[in-house]
């Protein structure tokens, strides 16, 4: 669960197919498993501050390394 702090910059999230979604300051979104690797980027000039809550079952890895999407470079 990710909240973009109000009064800061926005966050652009790219999915595995490099389709982007812009999350404006003051909004909240959920990044769910199964969407493949993604990438988040601050593409503005204002700092982006995020509040993130992870809900992970006991014994499951928090991070699974996969190749970055093509738009990550």
Q: In whole angstroms, give the CA distance from residue 17 to residue 47.
A: 26
Query: Per residue in 10-65, pLDDT tens?
Result: 999 988 888 899 999 999 998 776 666 788 899 999 999 999 998 888 998 877 78
Spatial contact of 8 and 49, defined as CB atoms under 8 Å apart: yes
Predicted confidence band at 68 (pLDDT cuts at 50, 70, 90)?
confident
Residue 2 parent element (H or E) = strand 2-4
- Asked whether the whole model's pTM tops 0.75, one would answer yes
Please name every residue paired with 41 in a beta bridge, in sequence order, or none if there are none.
Answer: 12
Q: In whole angstroms, give the CA distance from residue 39 to residue 25.
A: 18
Query: Per residue in 1-23, pLDDT tens?
Result: 999 999 889 999 988 888 899 99
Question: In this predicted structure, what is the pLDDT of residue 33?
Answer: 67
SS3 19: coil
């Amino acid at each position: 669960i990710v909240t973009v702090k109000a009064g800061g910059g926005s966050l652009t999230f790219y999915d595995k197919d490099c389709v982007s979604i812009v999350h404006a300051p003051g909004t909240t979104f959920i990044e769910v498993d199964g969407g493949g690797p993604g990438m988040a980027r601050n593409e503005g000039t204002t700092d982006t501050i995020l509040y993130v809550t992870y809900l992970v079952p006991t014994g499951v890895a928090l991070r699974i390394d996969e190749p970055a999407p093509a738009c990550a470079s």
